[in-house]
Amino acid sequence: MSWLIDSWHLLLPKPWSVIVLGIFAVLCGSWVGIERERREKPAGVRTMALVALGSCVFTMIGFVFTNNAGDSGRVAAQIVAGVGFLGAGVIIRGSGGVRGTTTAATIWAVAAMGLAIGAGYAPGGGGLALLIRAVLSLVGRWELSHYGGQHETTIRLIFNPDHGKTEIKIERLLDEYAISKSVVLRSNDPDGRQRWVIQCRLTARHSCEFLSELVEIPEVYAIER
């Protein structure tokens, strides 16, 4: 069981330790990125994979500096600072408020995961990937369904189906806000547009965010409350 608690740099011969850890970082980052990609967030699979790989590689380079003339702690500090700038790039302030903070925090956490893997503790990095996915999926759903201040909301949509593409976009939003598709009443207008009546329970903040995201779908023709 030493592979669970000891550094893989000590357990695997060079250069295999570097190669294995780099590949493992890409896999863990990609797994986290799948959740962001599914929700159509700015940073998806490739971004998370590259953040994890970059953090992992810089950490391993830091160990080389330690063996020669340098301080590996400085490398780790610069990774945190650099990832902070990258995270700031996905934060957007719009009419519905500030968006992208969860994705920015995810990038930051993925960088920490890459640091752990680069240091040789791949099982710890895998555990961090599992925790990040749990927070994004399970805790996110719990927050939406159990957060205080929820009230009944009825939203009526009229949109251009665009060969089914708009329906997929709206259903992804329903999943993101934990709104059951079974409560959606669907009908077709004579002009080819679709009319949906969505009944849900949302907090005031989530209701505003949900409506703001619906507004950004160009095929949505009208929204009534």
**pLDDT tens digit string along 79-97?**
877 887 777 777 766 545 5
How far, CA to CA in Å, does 134 sit from each of 32, 53, 107, 117, 127? 10, 21, 15, 19, 11
According to CATH, where is 3.30.70.260 located in the chain? 151-224
Q: How many CA atoms lie within 13 A of 107 on its CB side?
A: 26
Strands 97-99 and 194-202: unpaired
Specify the pLDDT at position 95. Answer: 47
The three-point CA angle 24-27-30 to 5° equals: 145
Closest CA to 49 of 33, 69, 60, 38: 33
Is the Cβ–Cβ distance between 160 and 115 less than 8 Å? no
CATH class of 151-224: alpha beta
Residue 4 tokens read as 């669970």
pLDDT, mean of residues 119-135: 92
Q: How confident is the model at residue 144 (pLDDT cuts 50, 70, 90)?
A: low
**What is the pLDDT at residue 46?**
92
